[in-house]
Each structure stands twice: as structure tokens, then as C-alpha cells.
Structure 1
Amino acid sequence: MTRPEHLQIVLREESDTYTRDGIFWRPLDDLMGTGVLGGTGESWAVSRKVLQPVFTSRNIRALTGRLADTINAAVDELDPAAQAGRPVAAGREMARIVNQTVVRIFFGHKIRSAEIARLTPAFEAVIASLAFRVLLPFMPEALTPRGRSYRAGIRAIDDVMFGLVEKYRDDPGEGLDIFTALCRARSAEGSGLTDQWVRDNLVGMYAAGTETTATALSWLWPLLCRHPEVAARLYEEIDRVVGGDRVGPEHLSGLTYTKQVVQEVLRLYPVGWQFPRMAVRSGTIAGTPVKEGQSLLISPYLTHHLDYVWERPDEFDPDRFAPERSAGRHRYAYFPFGGGPHQCVGNHLFHIEAQLIAASVLSRYRPEPVGAVPSRPAMGRTLRPEHELEMRLVPVGGRT
């Protein structure tokens, strides 16, 4: 299913008919559980109600200073390689920076370094296994590739998450982080919520928060390498807005082209490139009958490349997100974060985080590719570049 007008029916107008259920979703149950990303019905509604205030524009603005400080500190760690002229792996470094950032926003200072050290590789193992589980849902568990590492990863995630919940659920303290908000809801009198509910929401949001941003930013660097005219405009804006400062909340309003670049990256390579919906009752979509129990496969990747919706759809053109060119575009012509009631609650956080990371790196360094620049995605649960991009980071005018 690709046409925007049909997607509006499935994702928004009749979202209660086309649900997140069926054989393609069930392999995710033991990871996502019944939280805001994996749940349906009442459990999802409760999770959404608790989490939505955390992700309001006002609350995210309050967190932006902490976001910027964490990102700048993570980018500082690139400097030894940059000064030595030693190449870095773009995707791996983006994953590191994003992970350090998300951990602090999600957990505040309640998580220790030892717990982070367990959580990060566990999630990496689970994410690497998800493609097989989702794309081969009929395969028996014992025969699923990387099944053992998946189970070990889930056990490690559960150990860390349940340990944190047990420690803080009755006295979460103050804070704007997601973990604190979930623990407050869990401990409220008469809530009926459980430790499992807190765990499911933490795991789902953490997985989405790290994988989405890291994967999207892994595409930024090969696209800049292949489009020097876009890179030149991006560098000019960041040099003008950020200059020699450390990037901060005060710079975001001036990073308009940076935001357009991020939006265009997600148009070309939406991280969640396909996701299904299952019809829980029979109906029709634009005259086509849909039977109860049938699955509909939705693909932002295909919709984002429709030539009757997008001019030159395969070209990297951030200007297509300028206000004058965006006016009148169908709401579901571009939906990298889904749509309707199940649209990702963290999309505003993603854009701020991605802009700050891009600006923090590019205010200090210019990337130079070493070896082949990836140009195609490797199909999996998410759309990652076909191979890692190695690049040197050349310091800008003595800035580090």
C-alpha cells in the first residue's frame, strides 16, 4: 500500500480497523511487550497518555540544553582521531553518540556506567536479529538465525530494566526523563500498572530512540559526500549560525537548512521502511475489498519515491522541504514516523537531536571519505547503508 490517500484511511480514519497485529508483529512481542510501541487497545492508550506530555514541544525545549551538553561531550571523543588523521566508521560513531544521548534523556542520572555497558551490546545483538525474526516470521524459533544472541540480549535487557524499576519505582524523585515519568505513573495510587509495563515502555522507546536516529544519521555522511553542493550550503549555515561555539539550544532556530537536510535524508531512507497492519474486520479501501485477517504492508520507502507525488523522487534535494514547496503536500506523502494515533511520540525529539548532532560535528570537522561511499541500502528491519563508510574528520579552522 503506497498511495497517500489510501494510507490516510488505514493509519488515521479507520485505524481501529487496521491494527498492529498479526504474524509480522508477534515476533516483536517479547522485546516490545505491551508498551506504546508494541501494545494495542487499552494498554497502548495508557502508555500514550503517560508518555505524550514528556514529548511535548515545551518539555523537549526544557531538555534541549541537556541534549546539547551530552551531544557535545560525545562529539569531543572524535577529536583524537581527527587530530591524528585516523579514519572513523561513520555509522558506528553515530550509534555511539546517539546511544550516549538517549541514555541520559531516558534515564537521567539513574543509570550507572556498568548498566549502560550491559545494555548497549544487548540492544545491538537484539536489533541485528530482528530482521530475521520479522522477515521470516514462519521460521521456528530454534532455527532462526542469531536466535541464541537474541535470547541472550533479551535476558540482559530485562536484568537491567527490571533492576532499575525495582530500585526507583517507589521513589523516582524529580526529573523530566522518561524513566521518571513511567515510575511516577506506576507508583500512583490505583494505577494498576506493573513493573512489566514500565519495562515494556522503556525498551520500546529506547530501541526506537537509538535505532531511528543512529540509522538516519548514518546516511547523512554518504549523502553529503556524494552531493558537494548540498554539503557546501549545510557547512555555510552551520558556520554562520554556530561558528566557533559549542552547539546549543539557541542555535536551533537558525538551522533551517540543516532541518531540511535531515527531513530529506528520512524521505530517501526512512528507517522503518515497511510495517504491516492487520484488518480486524472486513471493509473496503477505495473500492478494493479487504477481508478480516488480511495483512496490509505499508512502506514509507515506496511512498516517498512515488514519481506522481515527488518531483525527481530519487534525487537528494533538501529544498523540497522549504515552506514554499511543502505547502499543499498530502499529509501522508511523507510519514517516516508513521501516522494517525500510532504516530511516533518522539518525532520532535528526533529532529532536535539529529540537528544538534549534525551541527556539533560539522561546526568542528569536515568529513572526507576513505574508500567506497555506500549508495544503496541493505534490506533488513531498518534501512542501513550497504556497508560502513570510513571517513576522516578534518578540523575546521583549528576548531575542536
Structure 2
Amino acid sequence: MTTDAAGIEAVFRAEYGRAVSVLIRLLGDIDLAEEAVQDAFTTAVAKWPETGTPPSPAGWIITTARNRAVDRLRRESSREARHAEAVRLHAPDETAEEGPVRDDRLRLIFTCCHPALAPQAQVALTLRLLGGLTTPQIARAFLVPEATMAQRIVRAKAKIRDAGIPYRIPRDADLPDRVDGVLAVVYLVFNEGYGGRADLCTEAVRLGRLLVELMPDEPEALGLLALMLLIEARRPARTSGDGDLVLLADQDRSRWDRGLIAEGQDLVRRCLRRNRPGPYQIQAAVNAVHSDAPTADATDWDQIRRLYDQLMALAPSSVVALNRAVAVAETEGPGTALALVEDLDLAGYPAFHAVRADLLRRLGRTGEAVEAYDAAVALTESAPERAHLERVRAALAKS
């Protein structure tokens, strides 16, 4: 059975992070590992349409990448170094390293989140290596220009190389210093997936469960897992049968995954008992309130606004303020909310323009609302979200 381009792309999405993680452990060189895995996928594009997908696609990619790395080392190394490196790469995988992290992909995240790297570089590099995200995708997640993000990733790789930061399992004592970066990475992987790549959501939830096992007493790890589960529970209702985006207020709540909701709510209750609130726990609590409401009209928006007040006190940001304004619109009206939104510096953030457009629409300021929808459409990368905004804008322009 032959394999088409879509099938190879699916394998890339599912296995790229695992393959790169394994190759980095074997090679100790990030750039060489990335190039070897990319070469292996290039070979797959040439061969699999004729030969079909191998029984173990991940194993084929890793073996082919290792062979490509050996070939390159033989071409570029001295005789002694070439012989030693080739022997090491062709040897069976070593016994699993002892320590608290035994998953290659999770270990890669902790390595990239070494305190010697700037926090934003930690997250960007891990998104690149683990999820195979492109530089433009990562730049969009950070709301920075592509050139800025490219420089950030190059500098992070150079820092790891020049500082001799090892790819190894961190000791228990190292975990607290790296937890913030690791949690941020996992959540950004999840958010990127929620924009259209379900495989990244699955991977982020898997990593979230591993983090909870690794750090059972870390409430923010519990909060992050709860947050992802509660959001993921709504995926079945997020699109219509035709693939159109369905907003939260319009979703058929009978389609929500009640198993994920129950698990997420239980984790939120565990967080509350610890009484050590943090940003992920509060966001999880917000989503727990949404999941409690049998209908959109029954949503306790006052409680959500209070939770965003608490989040603004703990971790203030323009994006949090924007989300708080959405709750204010439901409790105090769109006029009050719009005054809050207009003060935010989020011109490059599509959700800012979408929220502003909706508030203007509710206030009857149709012309301004249409212009705001135009700005949101121009910035939105997700095809379903862009199509939804275009439909709302078109309907508004006709009214």
C-alpha cells in the first residue's frame, strides 16, 4: 500500500519530536540531530509513495536519521574521531539513564529549560525541537517578528553548545528552577495544537500527565493538566459537521467529553485543597466554571471575573486583561468592557481585534465593528477561525 504526502505529513507531526529527542541523546548535537531527522523525512517523501509506510514509521525514521548522521560524521571527522563516533552510534541503545525523567521528549524539555537560557529562548527552542514547529509559527505564538524569533532560536542553540549544557536527566534538586519554563512549553505546545493540530494537544496532555507523576506536590503542574483537559473536553463541539468553528456560547454541550471534564474538575479541587494558587490553576478554575454551566446563559460570569481579578494580581498581562474584559462585558455591559479593551497594547494579536469587534457590534457601532473584524481576519492564521470571522463580518456589513 502506497503512502501519499498527507500520510507522511501525519507521521512527521506524530513522530518528529520523538525522533529528534532520541537523536539528540545519541549525538549530543542539536543541529546534527535536526538535520539528520529532516534528511530521513526527505528520504521518506521519495521512497514511501512507492514502497508504502513501513510497519514502524518512527523506528524507520530514527534508524535512517542515525545512518545519515553516521555518514556525515565519517565525511567530516578525523579518522580516530570518525571511528569512535561511528562505533558509538551503531551500538545498541544504552541502558536508560537513572533519574526522575525517563521519557526522551520530557527530558528534552527539561534540557532546553536550563536556567542558563533566557525563558523565552527555552520555550521557543523546545517548540522547535519537540513539535517541529516552524519559525513563523513560533513567532506568532510569541507575538514577535519572524526574524526576531529566528535569532532567538539560533542564539539558544549556540548557548547550549558553547556552554556545554548536557542533554541529561536533571536531578531532583534541579527541577524547581526549571518548572516554570517546562510548564510554559507544554502549554504553548497545547495552544498551537488547539489551533488545528490535534496531535500536539495529545502530546501536550501526555507530557502534562508525566509532569504530574514527576512532581505530584507541584500544584501548578496539576493546574496545567486540569486546564488542558477541560479545554480538550470541548473539542468535539468546537466545529460543526461542515467543519465551521462553533464559539463556546453556541456549542452543543452534550458533545463535551464528560470524562475529561470530571478528571479536570477533580484536579482543580486538588489544587484548591493545596491553597497555593498560581496562574495555571486559576485558568483551570475559569474553565471549570464554564464546564459546570449546563447552558451558556447559566455561566457564572461574576465568578469568572473574580478569578481573572486574582489572575491579574498574580500574573498581570495584556492578554489576561483582554480575557477579563470579556467577563466584564457579561457582568457590566459591553461599554465598560470596551473602555478596558481600548487601553490594551495588543495590535498584533488577532483575538484583541475579534473581541473589540464583538463589543462594538453589541454597542451598535457597525462601521467600526466591520473595520475591527477586517483587522482580526488579516491577522488570524487558523483557517476555521478566519472563516468564522469572515462570516460574522459579512453578515454585519449587510445589516
Question: Rg: which structure is higher?
Answer: 2
More helix per residue: 2
Is this a same-fold pair by TM over 0.5?
no
Q: Which has the higher strand share?
A: 1
* TM-score bucket (shorter structure): under 0.3
Q: Which has the higher contact order (CA 8 A, sep 6+)?
A: 1
Q: TM-score w.r.t. structure 2 length?
A: 0.25
